[in-house]
Amino acid sequence: MRSGASREKRKAVGKQPPRRPAAEKRPGPLKGQSPAKMSAGVGKALREGRERVGLSVRELARRIHVSASLISLIERDRAMPSVSTLFAIANELGLVLDDLFKSSERSVPAARPEIAPVVGTGRGPVQRSSGRNVIRLHTGVRWERLTPTPDDEIEFLYVVYDVGGASCEDGTLFRHGGKEYGYVISGRLGIQIGFEKYEIGPGDSISFDAQVPHRLWAMGREPAVAIFAILRRHNDSRRNASPAAGA
């Protein structure tokens, strides 16, 4: 009886349909993050910039080596670019970071001021923490502008790299014009500049020429929070750096 049952079991096993190949895995959100749209208004600013210089979606995608569908999703605020992709788009369109903040500013009602503005300065010199303009990006990076109005000379930012967050994908670097100055408030931040890698923590600071290919990422199990100042980015000639440029 047992041998017969065993034979039947083997036959049943032999009749099982072939196993289907596993479905292709798509990249999901970073650990601790849920899918989200890019900050309101940024995509519109990019689309307006592209139309102003007369580039098609396909041509812009070709120039920065991404898909046309990604450009379309970004322009409709349906996808968040990485820092490096956003800089590459802005470079081709002649935009700077404050151009994107201005657009976000138009899309989100300004917070009610807690002090009266200085006469003749519009909003006044104080930027309240509750009223900062914010840009959230793919790869877990958030920028908050620390000036109440755009500044032509400097981009003054409160930056958060979520756990696993980075300025661009692992194995790639990017560059842009200007000089960067950073000060870490909490967490630990990894920075690669050219061939050199550094790790900085609370109280540490760093400065470097942003035209040297670089990458920044959060290290450890907590977000990295820092203050960054980027000097004279609007005078740059930004271009994406290939992975081999500093890897």
Q: What string of DSSP letters covers 190-237?
A: EEEETTEEEEE-TT-EEEEETTS-EEEEEESSS-EEEEEEEE-GGG--
Asked if the structure places residue 59 within a domain, the reply is yes
**The two three-digit tokens of residue 121, written as one number:** 């300065």
Q: Is 9 among the domain residues?
A: no
**Amino acid code (one letter) for 210:** A
Query: Residue 172 is encoded by which pair of tokens?
Result: 């790639």
Let me know if residue 28 belongs to a domain. no
Cross-strand pairs, 219: 188
Among residues 115, 113, 38, 118, which one has the least CA distance to residue 77? Answer: 38
185 with 136: CB under 8 angstroms? no
Please count the helices (runs of H) and the strands (runs of E) in the chain. 6, 9
Is 156:232 a contact under the CB 8 Å cutoff?
no
pLDDT at position 186 = 98
pTM above 0.75, yes or no: no
Closest to 95 (Cα-Cα) out of 134, 144, 43, 167: 43
Give me the DSSP letters along 44-61: HHHHHHHHHHT--HHHHH
Tokens of 100: 């994107």
Give a yes or no: residue 171 inside a domain: yes
| CATH number, position 188 | 2.60.120.10
Number of domains observed in the structure of the chain: 1
Domain that holds residue 94: 37-111+131-245
In a domain, 3, yes or no: no
Q: Would you say residue 227 lies in a domain?
A: yes
Regions of the chain with pLDDT less than 70: 1-40, 97-99, 102-123, 138, 233-247
pLDDT at 102: 66
The predicted pLDDT at position 5 comes to: 52
How far is it, in rounded angstroms, from Cα 92 to Cα 81?
15
**Residue 1: exposed, middle, or buried by beta-carbon count in 10 A (0-12, 13-18, 19+)?**
exposed
CA distance 237 to 18: 56
Q: For residue 181, tell me if it sits in a domain.
A: yes
pLDDT of residue 37: 42
122 assigned to some structural domain:
no
